[in-house]
Amino acid sequence: MRAWSVTGPGPLDGGPLRPVRKPVPVPAADELLVRVRTCGVCRTDLHVTEGDLPVRRRGVTPGHEVVGEVAGAGAAVRGFEAGERVGVAWLRRTDGTCPYCLRGAENLCPASSYTGWDADGGYAEYTTVPAAFTHRLPDGLDDVGLAPLLCAGIIGYRALRRSALPPGGRLGLYGFGGSAHLCAQLALAEGATVHVLTRGAAARRLALGLGAASAGDAYAMPPEPLDSAILFAPVGDLVPVALRALDRGGTLAIAGIHLTDVPALTYERDLFYERQVRSVTANTREDAREFLALAARHGVRATTHPYPMSRADEALRDLKAGRFDGAAVLVNDF
């Protein structure tokens, strides 16, 4: 089959993502074989490709926002039909037996593995996924519109809950790409006031069009103190900026899997008055189920920019350069 492979992680200018031929994967006994229809382009794919995340699988095929159809199944799989539309997300497998899994925090499982990092993902004709980690998809959205919900949406949802936003609260979003623009829609639907702080003019326009109360530069102060903030941009310099924008007792959630170094914080200026910082680590399957149901109920929709799968490298370059608002989605033309 045709696929993309990270042949040697490094800057995009060096061509670390290459088109290759790989055998069609054979699903394990508890796995599905999925023919990829679309695959969202996530910033984590960029981190895997450029080496910001350590290599887990040499020559890995990125991609973990997959909408596809069941093309085969292992001997132990039940309950799926050939041709059924399914979703494949970032969290691929956990052990199910560790203390974290047993208390409902499977996102913290030390044995967890991830699509497009530990195992080949969706920048390809086919991928595999454990049946227990396969997502049922809501009706009413096409394949392109669904893809970004499977990571950008789910992670944005978990970050929103981690931010401890009170009912009717004031939320600041730092960075406004694929995840933030979905998170903003859900927060607005639940009654929040949303302020967006981001570098791109197109992203600011999108934010205002979705109903944000303001949209300014990432390093500017919002027009009012924030109850909660979420940092989506992988820029450690923004941590003290966001903390200083919080009201007393406010919470900053950091949503990314990678962040540049955080500068020294001043206790009195940045953390006093019970401001707090929380990280966000992957997601649980329950997060995914909750978010997909809420997205369907509230009409959360991704702003998408389709690219042919054969131009996945171009989509990643455009993502890095901030050339589009919303989310890029690869449509399989292999």
- In whole angstroms, give the CA distance from residue 36 to residue 125: 5
pLDDT of residue 14: 95
pLDDT of residue 55: 95
pLDDT of residue 114: 98
pLDDT of residue 3: 98
User: 10 Å Cβ neighbour count for 24?
Assistant: 15
pLDDT of residue 293: 96
- CA angle (323, 328, 333) in 5-degree steps: 125
How far is C-alpha 256 from the geometric centre of its chain's CA atoms? 8
- In whole angstroms, give the CA distance from residue 288 to residue 283: 7
3-state secondary structure of 11: coil
Residue 236 DSSP label: T
For the chain, the 3-state helix, strand and coil shares in percent, each to the nearest 5, are 30, 25, 40
Mean pLDDT in each 10-residue stretch from start to end of the chain (334 residues)?
A: 97 97 98 98 97 96 98 98 97 98 98 98 98 94 97 97 98 97 98 97 96 98 98 97 98 96 96 97 97 96 97 97 94 96
